[in-house]
């Protein structure tokens, strides 16, 4: 440890959607790394410890080191030449970078999509279908006397969700914290989150929708046949008891995870939990919230929505945004072989997409921007190494409850940030597109430049 130590207070951890902004980071400025992250959970500590400065080049083309400028030129040429270029990722970068990425898609008439399409995309669709009664996390802390988690395991995925926001904190109308709340966990198996709950309800795999729909019926005073237990693994008495708890609480909340959105039923499951929440507002105040994963996936939804009107899966082929999940979502554009160039930003689809999609990635020019070498950067035609948001750059991120937070940089990185690279690419693709169309406009005259 060197003498050159800096303390950064109120820094933000972007590992998960909790986006805790109470980190106290101890930074060794000589070694350029974070040696201590006070208040961080186990995941956050790993996040801060692992993001040191690497020794890979800022830019590579086909595995060979090149200048940043050469890589920007090659990227712009590749994107403009393509007939169906796609941009994907974005959930682990700043809103400022996301805005540039959407601009590039607009200019090149490409397709833009985010990791939402493979996590809570179904919740986005359900939201469009039925709406949602929801809240910022502080309302849960201050008011919720009934907290239900469904299809998620925050103890493992969002370790501070319970302690910072929802279960243990004392709040304005919850003076005794945990003692004033009833906590329920619904899942297909007993997870490490179960000990936190007063009541654990085990549902047969793939039967969440049936349980949710039965709850809706019971809330509305309809009869449910006791055979529901055989179908779902949950007895009628248990359901009736849960309905009783839900109707009689003062402020209830239903959190849900990918156990609902990525299993049988998908957006029907999300829609059912949102509709159940709406129904409950006839009796008391009730809210619901998907527990989002990546640090700024919520920001990506917001940026795409304000710039295009749609949250993910957006295509600009016709010169204006169109939305069609299944058609313009990335697993689909790759698996069908539509995409003829791809730019992946702060995401590693080559490590987690279906095999057929990865096979297609290998056939087309791929551009990657990432803080680390990844499966995706390894197969990329152009690979940029960028600095890490919230560690080397400031900028804006949105917590899972749409609350925007400005990050603090802990130490400088020799690598450029995503926004800088994307802004340069945007300028260059704009020039190329104008040249292609024979339009003479000085850069700076138009919005896009």
Q: Which of residues 165-194 bind another protein (CB under 8 A)?
A: 165, 170-173
Q: Which of 3, 64, 223, 439 binds another protein (CB under 8 A)?
A: 439
User: Binding to another protein by residue 56, rule CB under 8 A?
Assistant: no
Among 26, 133, 163, 263, binds another protein (CB under 8 A): 133
Please tell me whether residue 7 binds another protein under the rule CB under 8 A.
no
Nearest distance in Å: CB 69, another protein: 25
Instruction: Name the minimum Å distance from CB 106 to another protein.
Output: 5
Q: Sort strands 396-398 and 85-89 into parallel, antiparallel or unpaired.
A: unpaired
Any contact of residue 48 with another protein (CB under 8 A)? no
Tokens at 100, concatenated: 């540039």
Contact status: 442 vs another protein (CB under 8 A):
no
Site string for another protein, 112-131 (x = CB under 8 A): ------------x--xxxxx
Q: How far is the CB of 134 from another protein (least distance, A)?
A: 5
Site residues for another protein, window 232-271 (CB under 8 A)? Answer: 250-251
Give the 3-state secondary structure of residue 443. Answer: coil
Candidates 111-119, 309-317, 341-349, 420-428 — which segment interacts with another protein by CB under 8 A? 309-317
| Nearer of residues 269 and 368 to another protein, judged by Cβ | 269
- In the complex, what is the shortest distance from the CB of residue 447 to another protein, in angstroms, rounded to a whole number? 4
Dist CA 355 CA 295 (whole Å)? 26
- For residue 64, state whether it binds another protein (rule: CB under 8 A): no
CB of 107 to another protein, least distance (A): 8
Kindly report each contact of residues 421-425 with a partner whose C-beta sits within 8 Å and lies 24 or more positions away, as own/partner: 421/68, 421/72, 421/369, 421/384, 421/386, 422/97, 422/100, 422/101, 422/104, 422/345, 422/369, 423/100, 424/68, 424/72, 425/72, 425/75, 425/76, 425/79, 425/100, 425/104
Q: Residue 22 or 50: which CB sits closer to another protein?
A: 22
Q: How far is the CB of 419 from another protein (least distance, A)?
A: 13
> What is the DSSP-derived secondary structure letter of residue 416?
P
Q: Considering the rule CB under 8 A, would residue 402 count as an interface residue with another protein?
A: yes
Give the footprint of another protein on residues 198-237 (CB under 8 A): none
Burial of 357 (0-12, 13-18, 19+ CB in 10 A): buried
User: Within 13 Å and on the Cβ side, how many CA atoms surround 211?
Assistant: 28
Q: Is 309 in the site for another protein (CB under 8 A)?
A: yes
Q: How far is the CB of 21 from another protein (least distance, A)?
A: 5
Q: Does 406 bind another protein (CB under 8 A)?
A: yes
- Tell me, residue by residue from 328 to 367, as one string, x for binding to another protein by CB under 8 A and - for no binding: ----------------------------------------
Query: Which stretch of DSSP H or E encloses residue 352?
Result: helix 349-352
- Shortest Cβ distance from residue 301 to another protein (Å)? 7
| Residue 293 binds another protein (CB under 8 A) | no
138 binds another protein (CB under 8 A): yes
SS3 33: strand
The rounded distance, in Å, linking the Cα atoms of 88 and 82 is: 15
Please report, as residue ranges, which positions from 270 to 289 form the binding site for another protein (by CB under 8 A): 278, 281, 283-285, 287
Taking CB under 8 A as the criterion, the residue among 308, 315, 386, 423 binding another protein is: 308
Within 379-398, which residues bind another protein (CB under 8 A)?
A: 394, 396, 398
On whether the CB atoms of residues 379 and 350 are closer than 8 A, the answer is yes
Establish if 24 lies at the interface with another protein (CB under 8 A).
Answer: no
Least distance CB 95 / another protein (angstroms): 6
Q: Does 326 bind another protein (CB under 8 A)?
A: no
Q: Are 119 and 293 in contact (CB under 8 A)?
A: yes
Instruction: State how far the alpha carbon of 376 is from the alpha carbons of 33, 166, 252, 335, 410, in Å.
Output: 25, 36, 42, 16, 27
Neighbours of 244 (CB within 10 A): 11
Task: Give the DSSP per-residue string, 206-255.
Answer: T-HHHHHHHHHHHHTT----TTHHHHHS--HHHHHHHHHHHHH-SEEEEE
Report the site for another protein in 90-109 (rule: CB under 8 A): 95, 99, 103, 106
Of positions 65, 70, 320, 372, contacts another protein by CB under 8 A: 320
d(CA 202, CA 207): 10
Among 2, 176, 227, 437, binds another protein (CB under 8 A): 437
Residue 360, CA distances (Å) to 115, 335, 339, 373 in order: 18, 7, 8, 20
Please give the backbone phi and psi of residue 128, each rounded to the nearest 5 degrees, phi first: -65, -25
């Amino acid at each position: 440890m060197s003498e050159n130590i800096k303390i950064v207070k109120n820094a933000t951890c972007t590992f998960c959607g909790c986006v805790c902004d109470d980190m106290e980071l101890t930074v060794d400025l000589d070694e350029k790394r974070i040696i201590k992250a006070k208040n961080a959970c186990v995941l956050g500590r790993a996040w801060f410890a692992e993001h040191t400065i690497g020794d890979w080049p800022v830019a590579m083309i086909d595995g060979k080191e090149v200048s940043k400028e050469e890589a920007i030129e090659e990227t712009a040429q590749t994107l403009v030449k393509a007939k169906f270029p796609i941009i994907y990722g974005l959930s682990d970068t700043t809103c400022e970078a996301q805005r540039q990425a959407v601009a590039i898609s607009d200019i090149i008439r490409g397709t833009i999509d985010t990791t939402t399409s493979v996590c809570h995309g179904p919740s986005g669709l359900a939201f469009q279908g039925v709406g949602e009664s929801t809240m910022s996390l502080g309302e849960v802390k201050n008011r919720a006397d009934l907290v239900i988690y469904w299809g998620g395991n925050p103890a493992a995925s969002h370790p501070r969700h319970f302690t910072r926001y929802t279960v243990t904190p004392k709040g304005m109308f919850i003076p005794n914290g945990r003692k004033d709340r009833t906590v329920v966990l619904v899942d297909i198996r007993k997870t490490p989150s179960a000990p936190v709950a007063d009541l654990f309800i085990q549902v047969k795999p793939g039967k969440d929708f049936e349980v949710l729909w039965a709850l809706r019926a019971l809330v509305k005073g309809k009869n449910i046949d006791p055979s529901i237990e055989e179908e779902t693994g949950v007895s009628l008495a248990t359901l009736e008891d849960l309905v009783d708890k839900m109707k009689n609480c003062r402020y209830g909340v239903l959190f849900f995870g990918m156990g609902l959105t990525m299993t049988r039923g998908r957006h029907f499951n999300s829609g059912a939990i949102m509709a159940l929440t709406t129904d409950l507002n006839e009796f008391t105040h009730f809210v619901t919230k998907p527990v989002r994963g990546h640090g700024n996936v919520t920001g990506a939804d917001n940026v795409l929505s304000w710039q295009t009107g749609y949250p993910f899966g957006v295509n600009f082929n016709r010169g204006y945004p169109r939305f069609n999940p299944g058609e313009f979502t990335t697993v689909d554009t790759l698996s069908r072989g539509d995409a003829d160039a791809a730019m992946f930003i702060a995401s590693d689809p080559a490590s987690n997409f279906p095999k057929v999609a990865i096979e297609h990635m290998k056939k087309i020019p791929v551009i990657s921007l990432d803080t680390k070498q990844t499966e995706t950067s390894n197969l990329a035609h152009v690979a940029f190494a960028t600095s890490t948001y919230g560690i080397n750059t400031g900028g804006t991120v949105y917590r899972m409850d749409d609350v925007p937070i400005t990050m603090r940089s802990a130490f400088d990185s020799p690598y450029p940030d995503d926004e800088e690279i994307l802004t340069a690419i945007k300028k260059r693709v704009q020039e190329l597109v104008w040249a292609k169309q024979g339009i003479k406009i000085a850069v700076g005259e138009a919005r896009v430049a």
